[in-house]
A and B are shown apart, each in its own frame.
Chain A
Amino acid sequence: MRESGTAARVFELLDQRSFAELSGDANPLHVDRVAARRSLAGEVVVHGIHALLWALDEWIAEREGLVEIERLDVEFLRPMPVGDCVRVSDAGSGANVAALEIQSTDATLATIACTFASASGSMSSGVVDEVPPVSSSRPLAADQVRACRGTLPLMRPATSARRMFPHLADKLSARQFAALLASTRMVGMECPGLHSLFSELHLRRAQTPPEGLTYEVRRFDQRFGLTTIDVCGGDLSGTVLAFLRPAPQSQARSADLRQLVAPSEFSGQRALVVGGSRGLGEVLAKLLAAGGADVLLTYCSGEEDARAVVADIVDAGGRASCARFDVTEPDAAPGDFVPTHLYYCATPFISAGTAGTFRQDAFERFREFYVTGFSRTLARFDNPAMQGVFYPSTVFVDAPAPGMSEYAAAKSEGEAVCASLEQQRPGLRVVRPRLLRLATDQTLSVGPSVRHDPVPVLLAAARTLAA
């Protein structure tokens, strides 16, 4: 890194699992694709501390001697998706100061300022040379986070540490290394736990008690779930900032939705709900079944979620089943269901880009679902009995929002497919409302935001289609 001032890599899921084992931070956000798709990030993201240790390992590679961290300030600015290429760049480092930025192709993901001091030994006393025990992330609520405190042992399995971060493992104080590993274990597993997002880290060298990394929540801002945690241990003392991010969006239960729908309102419909395991598709499936429709809902990867939706519908007296169907696979075919109505809710994670830029790769990804996948699904399921098609578009087609131009452009093309369908099939009813931001996983946010209840909006659309 020293010669070019930059180094690059791709974090793969396997790397993530290795780091989860090393650190004890096995939060699903970092290691489980199916669970992570329902998070704020929409996909598996790299542990911030994993990225930090990699960047420091690159920086320290060609430096001599044992070191301790004198001070460390890190900001994790944006989630770092697994599978994307990232690079670490020198941003004005000095002899003992690492000033680094971790960047993707179009954004700065993290900034790091670390001052090192010479150390006289490996400083490993009090550090357990073992892998942290396997545990589950604690699903804490706001009131529980507010009162969080505890101590985590300092653990640094030497062999794994050396394999993943060879230079840092040899040169950095073992106690401080272990404290950094404990900090991600604290955030991801203990406090805020399951629904956490590591935001900032500010540490100074200090004399600390030997028992481990102690932590205590000093401040909790309810508006954002922003948690300020004092930490002390491993010769470091300071503050961690982390968000208690929102849990995956749950939708109304079928038993409750039955109060809104006449029992035979949708009877006779054989409704194919593509992308029905959660979000808009889930709500539509429940509403249609409550009104007497025979529903087949499809999922791509969320089989467990889909089965839960089916069970909820059946428990409330409705008829539903589920099948896997990936709209991006040309030959995909979920059985021999012959629908009278198609509700197309398949979508990738709707990531916002940077205002003022147009990401061609993001546009192509949206297009794969909203245009190609939609056309392919129509071709696969169209039949003489088909009476209606529902295609959810977006108000962003009318009024672009920052960073959403790729999404809006792809939805606009999908609308054009709908228009073409109407021309070709005069008897077919096509409903393609431009929807506001509705409360789903896709619109989760760490701060306050305006989101609307999807139930009345989708019920109105379903009624329009059935009329």
Chain B
Amino acid sequence: MPETTLIAEQPAPQPDQTGPVVVFDNVSIAFEDKQVLEDISFTVEPGETRIVLGPAGCGKSVLMKLANGLLCPDSGSIHVFGEEVSKMPEVDLFTLRARIGMVFQESALFDSMTVCDNVAFRMHEEHMPEDEVQQRVLESLRFVELEQAVNKFPSELSGGMRRRVAIARAVVSKPELILYDSPTGGLDPITSTTIIELVMKQRDVFHNTALVVTHRLQDAFTLATHEYDVQEHTMKPIPNKGIDPKTKFLVLNEGRIVFDGTTMDLVHTDDPWLKEYLS
């Protein structure tokens, strides 16, 4: 089976980052007098999957864009791979972003380009040889099980398929850090599970560092309590009701961090707001 062979041939890359991958230090940002994020500080270690939870409008998407340097904070500093993205000029950020993959909330596929051109975008910009581009595009689409859609336009795809193509586009360059902004937002439960399985596959096979924004608690806890089985090509609960040790949580409310810790700490929290949010 080609997919098994593909994954078996690619050894899981070990993170070569010795320090934290993402560091937010007292970051605040406001839009038109509305404080969106206030005094946000947290760290993401290499190989860790940090799930960002919170009610709608609490600043989760803004946090993702700050991490990628798409927005600049009003105060505080953001370090990604040891470099201060909050102060870097855009030209230098382009180079850093080669190590970061981002999946946007509404996919953000280029609708005038085919799926192939969307996934190959970064490689075309880098003037990679066309046969290598084609090979990597097909590998990436095979990863998200959409190889047959290679010549379709985004308008011909369903919402779930667009989201999968967006993931393929984000992972085709084998980034060390992946930012998922609500990858299951607006999707039905079955399609959401498919997307979460892909996120899990990326985590367990390639051991990337990831920030996953979601407002769906079931997706968050699925990520924390399941693992991807390479042999059977599906996710399975971690044996003995285990928890993935590299999956941690960050909960935001009204622009502030209300929880930063492990799955077990979150589940056993005494905070009344958190208890109500999780119930």
Instruction: Please indicate whether A and B come from the same complex rather than being unrelated chains.
Output: no
**Residues of A in contact with B (beta carbons under 8 Å apart):** none
**Residues of B in contact with A (beta carbons under 8 Å apart):** none
